[in-house]
Structure 1
Amino acid sequence: MNQLSVIAEQTVVPYTAPPPWRVLTEVGYFAGLCALLGGLAVVLIAVLPAHRDHAQSVEGRERHTWAIFPVIGVAMLPLLYLQEAALAARSGEFAFAHGLRPDVIGEFLTAPKESGEWIAESTLRLVQVVLLEGAALLAVAAGRRASRRLGWWALLVGVVGEVVVSVPTAFAGLVVDDWLKTVLTQVHILGALVWLGGLGVLAALAVRSRGSASDAAWAGTWSRFSVMAMTAAGGILISGLWMSWQHVGGFGEFVTTPYGRFLLLKIVLVGVMLAAGGYNHVVLLPRIERSLRGGDVPTVRHAVRAHFPKVAAFEATVGIAVLFIVPFLSGSARKESGSGSAAPFDGRILLIGVLLIATVLASFWATSRLAHAQARRPHLSSVPTVAD
């Protein structure tokens, strides 16, 4: 590498804060996507199976659970339009008000491909819009008919719609780092959708369903979601650490660059969510299991009807705060500090990645074993019930 290329690589790129319209449209879009895909996942994988396991599969019960999705599906349509308007404005570097015009969005979604591309990026974006609109409408239909089949189709179409824009438009010159970025970015996004969306929808369902479902059914729901959240959090941790290494050259950049400070705040908020989820998994869920085994109805009722919904709502609120930080994570701390790009993928980085994955899996295994040991302890006495 010659001296000129070294100087170019170490050029400091000043941080530029996103305009308010970009922050609001991006937060609204991802919040809607969280509710749509994360909500569908948690209802199909946690809520309905748990309720059926405890004789809560009557038609009225399922219709009550599905009733939230027509609202989510309809709300997703304007949020998707606003997001495309914002992307069009950013692409053309013009005012957001101009990007709101349907013809401008149409031009943005039908721009021709560039030389060397097998497909235009705009075409992938158009496919995404069609698929996400389809997922939203399928969710509306699933909610109106209380149909699991339509719900699964909505989830599948929505997930494909989310990941389709990550397909490379050209394969020439791609290296391992490019593929890692593509895969781990989608792992990060999908994990966040399941975790944040599941929390928000569960909190809403728990409030709407007070008294209409058994305590045991809701205990099973929270237990199933705990496994989903742990899996999503694992993907977020692994992908997030890799992405942080790509964008932050050293610990000092966390406090000396705007990008690093926003990322550090995001990490702290995610840590708060992990701590709340860890407490539920290691302390509260085992307590519920012991109480169910001991017939301690007051403790179970307070936990599933009062405590868990409040914690889920708190975590979802923190998750919204995280979403508000995401638009400010543009560029990288490496560029802002002039420290240069991250080292290319090699055997040393592979070894570190394997050790990191093994560490995360080992920590989750230890957490599960601790929770299991807590659940096996004898139930001694009930916890005083706190008024809802």
Structure 2
Amino acid sequence: MSHADLAAAAAYTTPPLWRILTKTGYFVGLSGAIGSTVTYAVSVRPGLRAPESEADDVAALQRRTSVYLAWSGLVLLVAGYFQLAGRVARAGKGMAFGDALAPGRISDFLNAPAAKGAWVAQGTIHIAQNIVLVLAAVTLISLFTAAGRRNLNAVALTALPLSLAITLVGAIPATAPKNTEKWLDLAFGQAHIISGTVWIGGLALLLALTGTRRHLSANAGLLWADIW
């Protein structure tokens, strides 16, 4: 092993637990929001709209989908707040994570002036990202209400682009990338995040829907096969 490799290995330190938990929670929240809404749009919804699907089976699957999406919105909202606090803690030298949870600290972070050479302040990007996050979360949380459940299709299809925008807006660079490689790194990074959250979150939604099998009729096999 070269001296450079030894130096790199020695420099690595395990991230603090709060950073691991906030990062993990954030991607769990994204998977719930992006994965479930995309899977609803491209898989669950077409099956429920099929003419051969029985009304009672459709109603049971809609109820379970609504509850799952509503909880996904709540998890996203909580995870988004802790993720933002984590960003504040990382930005402040030696700041404890508990201190970063304070609204005043978050406000100072979001309203910090732009760095030299930046076209926009990084805090402005975070503000835009978290506005979209709150809108997506509140949209999904509305499915806890009877009115929201009656409009599952409209709610889910509204939350879908908002959920995708969370990660896309957050990836906007405050300073222009210097070369094509940096631009490609941003693009491939977002493709990786979105495809991963769709895959994991979509499977989680389909797994949750298996809980409706006791409430489905004997003729629900074709509907279930269509969804999968």
| TM-score in terms of structure 2 length | 0.85
User: How does 1:229-240 map onto structure 2 within 5 Å?
Assistant: none
Matched, 1:177 2:181: yes
> Who is 2:157 aligned against?
152
Residue by residue over 1:352-372, the C-alpha shift from the partner in whole angstroms, topping out at 9 and shown as x without a partner, is xxxxxxxxxxxxxxxxxxxxx
Matched, 1:133 2:96: no
Matched, 1:194 2:198: yes
- Counting matched residue pairs gives 213
**1:63 offset after TM fit, Å?**
3.3
> Who is 2:170 aligned against?
165
> Who is 2:224 aligned against?
218
**Does the 8 Å CA contact 1:132/1:162 hold for their aligned counterparts?**
no
Distance in structure 2 (CA, Å) of the matches to 1:57 and 1:32? 31
**Does the 8 Å CA contact 1:38/1:198 hold for their aligned counterparts?**
yes
**1:56 offset after TM fit, Å?**
4.1
Matched, 1:21 2:26: no
> Who is 1:47 aligned against?
44
Paired residue secondary structure (1:67): helix
Distance in structure 2 (CA, Å) of the matches to 1:210 and 1:151? 25
Residue by residue over 1:121-152, the C-alpha shift from the partner in whole angstroms, topping out at 9 and shown as x without a partner, is 11111111110111011112246423212211
**Does the 8 Å CA contact 2:47/2:53 hold for their aligned counterparts?**
no
**Does the 8 Å CA contact 1:51/1:218 hold for their aligned counterparts?**
no
Structure showing greater radius of gyration is: 1
Distance in structure 2 (CA, Å) of the matches to 1:215 and 1:110? 54
Paired residue secondary structure (1:68): helix
Paired residue secondary structure (1:168): coil
Distance in structure 2 (CA, Å) of the matches to 1:56 and 1:143? 24
**1:212 offset after TM fit, Å?**
2.1
Distance in structure 1 (CA, Å) of the matches to 2:37 and 2:210? 15
Amino acid at match of 1:80: G
Q: Return closer, same or farther for 1:179/1:76 CA change in 2, 3 Å cut-off.
A: same
**Does the 8 Å CA contact 2:70/2:140 hold for their aligned counterparts?**
yes
CA RMSD of aligned residues (A): 2.1
**1:64 offset after TM fit, Å?**
3.7
**Does the 8 Å CA contact 1:85/1:100 hold for their aligned counterparts?**
yes
2:210 to 201, 206, 222: 206
Matched, 1:104 2:105: yes
Q: Return closer, same or farther for 1:51/1:110 CA change in 2, 3 Å cut-off.
A: same
Amino acid at match of 1:176: T
Q: Which has the higher contact order (CA 8 A, sep 6+)?
A: 2
Q: Return closer, same or farther for 1:37/1:153 CA change in 2, 3 Å cut-off.
A: same
**1:208 offset after TM fit, Å?**
3.5
Amino acid at match of 2:216: S
**Does the 8 Å CA contact 1:63/1:143 hold for their aligned counterparts?**
no
Matched, 1:121 2:122: yes
Distance in structure 1 (CA, Å) of the matches to 2:142 and 2:154? 10
Distance in structure 1 (CA, Å) of the matches to 2:66 and 2:55? 12
Distance in structure 2 (CA, Å) of the matches to 1:118 and 1:10? 36
**1:57 offset after TM fit, Å?**
5.4
Q: Any gaps of 5 or more consecutive residues in structure 2?
A: none
User: How does 1:278-317 map onto structure 2 within 5 Å?
Assistant: none
Q: Return closer, same or farther for 1:66/1:114 CA change in 2, 3 Å cut-off.
A: same
**1:91 offset after TM fit, Å?**
1.1
**1:36 offset after TM fit, Å?**
1.3
Greater shift in the superposed pair: 129-138 or 202-211: 202-211
**Does the 8 Å CA contact 1:35/1:72 hold for their aligned counterparts?**
yes
Amino acid at match of 1:104: R
**1:47 offset after TM fit, Å?**
1.0
Distance in structure 2 (CA, Å) of the matches to 1:115 and 1:202? 47
Distance in structure 1 (CA, Å) of the matches to 2:5 and 2:182? 21
Paired residue secondary structure (1:55): coil
Paired residue secondary structure (2:49): helix
Distance in structure 2 (CA, Å) of the matches to 1:135 and 1:209? 29
Distance in structure 2 (CA, Å) of the matches to 1:57 and 1:33? 31
Identity %: 31
Q: Return closer, same or farther for 1:113/1:50 CA change in 2, 3 Å cut-off.
A: same
Q: Return closer, same or farther for 1:217/1:112 CA change in 2, 3 Å cut-off.
A: same
